[in-house]
Amino acid sequence: MRIGITITLGCVLFAAACSKGENAGAEEARKEAEAEQKAREARGEAAKKIAPPVPGQAKIPCEQLIDLPKYQEATGETEPLTIRTDAKEEPEAAATCSLVRGGKKFTEAEQAAKLKKDGRLGVLPGDVVCQVSAFCWTIEDPDRFKKKCAQRKDSDDESMGSYACRQTVMVGAFDVYVYRFFDADTKCILQVKGGASQMDNDITLKCAKVARDTIGPAQIAVTGSAPPAPAPAAAGSGAAP
């Protein structure tokens, strides 16, 4: 059992704020797409059926969406990360995948000692380092996505080297960031945030960059295949697994 009522309360508020906002955004996007289609038909334009990136509210396996070695490398985690499916956190997402820190879990006595030494527990073994969600059931476009970002009073952000809508959530004394962006390759909205105990925004940003660079059509295909396994390191290279 993790110590600290304050930390737990902040985590619950963090998760609730993000989930509610994105679910509402997905419903809004669906209604806007329907209105645009009706407007085209009213102008006498030929009806054109446009399918969302993932039709029928199908779910994507996290093992297919997540290229785990890339996240391991980007985050600098020394223990092997594992993937956990957290579909209930974002019910409007085709996939919600958490990357969990490896290593031996702390006992309550070890948690107490760390809390006394560092003043906070931080990300412990078994905690989520970052979480990636793919919203692919609606038809999106980058201009509308930017407009929605302004309506939500979130921040335009270019720290990824490409556009993202950045939400700031207060968790205790910390401002933590949630990155959302329109992915041109898949036409999905990708969301990346830290785990409940993750206060290092730089790690979340690194996860967002990996999501942008590794998630493509094959990763969201209903019958797609998982990302290829990394090539084995040469013997004696000293490369991390």
Q: Give the DSSP H or E segment for 156.
A: strand 155-157
Distance between CA atoms of residues 212 and 192, nearest Å: 10
What pLDDT score was predicted for residue 113?
A: 85
Take residue 208 and report the two structure tokens written for it: 């967002």
Question: What is the pTM (predicted TM-score) of this model?
Answer: 0.74
pLDDT tens, residue by residue, 63-85: 999 999 999 999 999 999 999 99
Listed by start position, the domains of the chain span 5-220
By three-state DSSP, how is residue 116 classified?
helix
Q: Output the pLDDT for position 8.
A: 41
